[in-house]
A and B are shown apart, each in its own frame.
Chain A
Amino acid sequence: KQEVTQIPAALSVPEGENLVLNCSFTDSAIYNLQWFRQDPGKGLTSLLLIQSSQREQTSGRLNASLDKSSGRSTLYIAASQPGDSATYLCATNNNAGNMLTFGGGTRLMVKP
């Protein structure tokens, strides 16, 4: 059974810092991996989706990388802003079908 872990569970940084969020998974036979953002009391918003054949995806100040062999993905946020404060979750599926496995999320606080 796939297990997805995100460490740390919470992170606090000053505004302007570059930071990295980590996601690890136990079964490397993943199809793809998706990063989400969740604001308090809200649903999840898709940030980036990386196919298993890709190494990274970029959107603005966000860069997500994927290393299947080591079972890891990272989300890099450049020049962090208070508006980036949220919980970030990663999820992956496997070739078996339709079920995604989510990590527990990293709660990010960017202080002005």
Chain B
Amino acid sequence: NAGVTQTPKFRVLKTGQSMTLLCAQDMNHEYMYWYRQDPGMGLRLIHYSVGEGTTAKGEVPDGYNVSRLKKQNFLLGLESAAPSQTSVYFCASSYGAPLSTTNEKLFFGSGTQLSVL
């Protein structure tokens, strides 16, 4: 069972470079999320999607863009990377609105460690 797959697992960028993080899920989930995790800050929501073709801003969206062209994929883009974007990025998905019912658990990928020099 693949679940939620993130690529790449590690990346080092120079300030100003761009990159795209890919998240793929094979559980037919409608909802997908991008979080960043920083020491002492916990997990913070960057952007999310409630279905194919939709995106919405989360708590910390500045400097990031997302796209959900296919239901199974959710892409996170950094157009001009900054050192403040050094973090571990996690993708997550759920079938419905997370935690709205007993079955709407949130499933996470294994993360992408990004360093911006």
A residues contacting B by CB (< 8 A) are 4, 31-34, 36, 41-46, 49, 51, 89, 91-93, 97-100, 102-105
Contact = CB atoms under 8 A, between A and B. Distances in A.
Contact of A93 (B50, B59, B98, B108): B98
Interface residues of B, number: 29
Contacts of B48: 98-99
A46 B99 contact: no
B40 A104 contact: yes
A34 B58 CA distance: 19
Contacts of A46: 105-107
B1 interface: no
Contacts of B59: 99
A42 B99 contact: no
Nearest to A103: B42
Contacts of B105: 34, 46, 49
Main secondary structure of the interface of A (DSSP, over half): strand
Nearest to B41: A104
Contacts of B43: 44, 89, 91, 102
A26 to B, nearest CB: 14
B88 to A, nearest CB: 9
28 contacts: A31-B100, A32-B99, A32-B100, A32-B104, A34-B105, A34-B106, A41-B111, A42-B110, A43-B90, A43-B111, A44-B108, A45-B108, A46-B105, A46-B106, A49-B99, A51-B102, A89-B42, A93-B98, A98-B31, A98-B48, A98-B50, A98-B56, A99-B48, A99-B58, A100-B106, A104-B40, A104-B42, A105-B42
